[in-house]
Amino acid sequence: MSVTAPQGFEAAGVAVGLKSTGKPDVAVIVNRGPLKTGAAVFTSNRAKANPILWSEQVIRDGVVEAIVLNSGGANCFTGSFGFQTTHQTAERAAELLGVGAGDILVCSTGLIGTGDQVFRDKVLAGVEQGIARLNPEGGPDAANAIMTTDSVQKTATYQADGWSIGGMAKGAGMLAPGLATMLVVLTTDAVLTSSEADAHLRAATRVSFDRLDSDGCMSTNDQVTLMVSGASGVTPDAAAFRAGLTAICSDLARQLQGDAEGASHDISIQVMHAASEEEAVEVGRSVARNNLFKAAIFGNDPNWGRVLAAIGTTTALFDPYDVDVEMNGVRVCSSGGPDRPREEVDLTPRATSIVIDLKVGDASATILTNDLTHDYVHENSAYAS
């Protein structure tokens, strides 16, 4: 059911020709209430797409009636025409729904730097068709409509005592977020204020989507949105809701990791005994963004020296000659020197675990990444073709 699993939401996904494949490419999700609460986090990339610039303004009052998403075009670096297209998208949806355009979020994903009247006309047609087909069973169709290079749709649900959360995500490349990753929509029928929704969303994304660093490239269109209908009538315990939201965000983040472009290994980098959580994240991300390390994992080579070389570029507190490294359960490095023979490490499974013990504190963090493959290079060399 995806985003329509919680009460109070309807969705649709339609095909209007933005994609050459003829697959669905415009999604609409509407909150029927009684609450119309929303929160969102956005890419920290200074180069922001027009829908991000629009949605950053919309979310300020914490009211969201609906969200319109299109694939097949990022509407980024398309000048004033592109921003007008985003504005008209919200206006068309608002007119058909009988609400204000300032309460309609807009998201786009696809190729940067392209957009013309044909693109605009198709998006507006998608808004009209999508709203005409809104239904409580439309979550899966909406999830399909936001896919670009994704090979599968990504959805998740979380059921609690009297309330629930639903979610959908898209993303297979440019996964190196600042607060968010690609496009994610979360819905809940719990009763929350806008400030509560914002606080819970930021806490959940910080330890889920913000820890996914697939290829070190940050998108111009990243947005994670939480829509609150309050239709269950249940006000959840704050800790319980935050745990549920974090669980569903973590689930979707791992689905994004598992569908990363061309990847043959899903790598979990756990940093232990760091001086602070921030330093644990810095160390883990340094390894996740090291192309030599990623290439070694692709070749099933347990080259732990590349791990130490990567963490040595950070400002984190540790002694490089007192660090342990495990690869898939085998401690290959102890106190900055060789430990078990490399031949004991089996890197053929897709799931790959790296554990780094800094031995300086009590903090920890886990970063998710992927290996660097021939297929990734090929897919991104031909992305605009």
Whose structure tokens read 């290829």? 215
* β-pair type (66-70, 104-108): parallel
Burial code (b: 16+ CB inside 10 Å, e: under 16) for 273-308 equals bbeebebbbbbbbbbbbbeebbebbbeeebbbebbb
Give the pLDDT of residue 175. Answer: 53
**Alpha-carbon span 268 to 337, nearest angstrom:** 22
Are 71 and 146 in contact by the 8 Å Cβ rule? The answer is yes
Domains identified in the chain and CATH numbers? 2-258 (3.60.70.12), 266-381 (3.10.20.340)
Give the largest Cα separation in the chain, rounded. 68
Beta carbons within 10 angstroms of residue 195's beta carbon: 11
Are 107 and 123 in contact by the 8 Å Cβ rule? The answer is no
**Alpha-carbon span 192 to 328, nearest angstrom:** 42
pLDDT tens-digit profile, the chain (385 residues): 799 999 999 999 999 999 888 899 999 999 999 999 999 999 888 889 999 999 999 999 999 999 999 999 989 999 999 999 999 999 999 999 999 999 999 999 888 888 889 999 999 999 999 999 999 999 999 999 999 878 889 999 999 999 999 999 998 655 555 543 469 999 999 999 999 999 999 999 999 999 998 877 777 888 999 999 999 999 999 999 999 999 999 999 999 888 877 789 999 999 999 999 999 999 999 999 999 999 999 999 999 999 999 999 999 999 999 999 999 999 999 999 999 999 999 999 999 999 999 999 999 999 999 998 887 777 776 655 5
- Active site residue ranges: 181
* β-pair type (351-357, 324-327): antiparallel
**Alpha-carbon span 280 to 357, nearest angstrom:** 10
Q: How far is CA 272 from CA 15, 26, 221, 278, in A?
A: 47, 43, 32, 12
Whose structure tokens read 């087909």? 133
Amino acid sitting at position 9: F
- Hey, what are 358's tokens? 């800094």
Omega within 30 of 0 (cis) for the link into 320: no
Give the pLDDT of residue 379. Answer: 72
Give the pLDDT of residue 181. Answer: 47
